[in-house]
Amino acid sequence: MSDDVIALGQPTVGEAELAAIAEVFASGWLAGAGPTCRRFEERFAAATGTRHALTTANCGSALHLALLTLGVRPGDEVVVGDYTFPATGHAVMWAGAKPVFADVRPDIWTVDPAAVEAAITPRTVGIIAVDAFGQPADYDELRAIADRHGLFLVEDAACAAGATYKGRPAGSLADVATFSFHGRKGITAGEGGAYVTDRDDLAAHARKLHTYGVEGALTRAELSDLPIPAFTELGYNYRLSDVAAAIMLAQLDRLPDLLAAKRRTAARYGELLKDHELITTPHEAPDREHPWQSYVVTLDPSIDRGAVALGLRRRGVQCTFGTYASHVQPLYGQSAPCPVSADLFARHLAIPMHANLTDAQVETVVATLVDVVASAATGR
C-alpha cells in the first residue's frame, strides 16, 4: 500500500510477534492445538472472565462449534441479530438449522430484545446476539428472554475483544461466546478465533469436535501409554496453529495499549464531526466500553454513499460499507423485514480505524470526508 494512502485497518505487529514466532519454531511444535495454543487459551480465558477458552481456525468455526455443542439440530430455528457479517447466519445453516433474523437498535446497532421476543416460535432453540463492531448487545434483557423461553444464548463477540458490558468483559455474557482474530480485528494473527464458556461439558465437547472428534495430540502425548483414539462422532479440523497462537500471545500483551489508542481516535473523530448535519457519529452506550474495532458513520439519506466512497478512495482514504443486513441476502430466503438494519446497511460508511493512526491522519480523514460529503450534497 502506498505511504500516502490512509488504511481502513492495519495490524500493530513487530518485534514481539517475531520473537514469539521464533520461540515456536525453536520448540518444534508448529501444528495446531499444541502447547502454545494451550498457553494462549489459559490467558484468553482469564481476559474474558471465563473458565474455558478454545482456539479455533476462525470465528465462523467457533460459532459452528457453539451451535453443535449446544445441541442444535436440523429443523431448529435460531434467532440471530440481523446486522452482521453472514458468518453468523451461515453457522446456523452449517448446523442444519434455520437462522431467523431479528432487527436491531437504531442507536447502537445490536439486536433489539423486543424483536428477538417477537421472532421466537415453537421451533426456536436459541439466540445469537452480535456485538456490533465490538459494542456489546443488551445481555441482561436477552438473558431474561432466553431463560423465560428455555433457550440458549450465544455472544458473537467477533469484534469485541476488550469490550465490557456493565463492567463485565465481552465473552462472559452468554452460555458461549466466539471471537475473531482476523486481520481487521482488535487483536489479530491474520486469521483465527476462539470459543469461550464457563461450562465444563461444552468446553470438553468443543475441544473434541474441533479435532476430528477425538482428543488432540497434545492431550494424548501427556499420557504414559500409547492411546489409540476411536472416532465415535463426526468432528472437524478447526484447530489454530501454534504459530498463530504465539502471535496472539504477543497481541494479548498489546491489547490495553491498542484499546487506548483506538479510544483516543474515536474521541477525536467524534469531536471533529459532531457538528456536521449530514454525518452522524456512532453512539457508545454509557454502561458499555466500546473497543472500536471499526469506526462507522451514518450518512444522511440524501447523500450518495457510493459517490462518497469513490471520492474518499480517489483522495487516498480507504473506506467500506458497515456490515450486512442479513435478511436481504438471497441465501437465507427471509421475507420478514428488518427495516432498521436495512437502513443502516444502506447508509453506513466505515472510515479508517486502527491503533496506528496519527492525529494528522485523523484530521486528514475528517477534512476529506467532510469535503467529499459536501460535494455529494451539492451534486458537484
Question: Which amino acids are annotated catalytic?
Answer: 185
| Cα(2)–Cα(326) distance, integer angstroms | 34
SS3 assignment, position 261:
helix
- Cα separation, 338 vs 89, whole angstroms: 15
Q: In whole angstroms, what is the distance from residue 326 CA to residue 342 CA?
A: 9
Q: What is the DSSP string of 146-199?
A: HHHHT-EEEEE-TT-TT-EETTEETTSSSSEEEEE-BTTSSS-SBS-EEEEES-
Cα distance between the two ends of the chain? 29
Please tell me the distance from the alpha carbon of residue 107 to that of residue 113, in angstroms, as a whole number. 14
Cα–Cα distance, 10 to 45 (Å, whole number): 25
Contacts with 264 (C-beta within 8 Å, 6 or more apart), sequence order: none
Q: Which residues contact 325 (CB under 8 A, 6 or more apart)?
A: 82, 83, 338, 341, 342, 344, 345
Find all residues with CB under 8 Å of 23, minimum gap 6, and list them.
Answer: 246
* Residues 6 or more apart in contact with residue 144 via CB below 8 angstroms: none
Alpha-carbon distance of 106 to 87, in angstroms, equals 22
Q: How far is CA 88 from the centre of its chain?
A: 10
d(CA 164, CA 161): 9
Q: What order do you get walking across the sheet with 279-280 strand by strand?
A: 279-280, 295-299, 348-351
Contacts of 346 (CB under 8 A, 6+ apart): 305
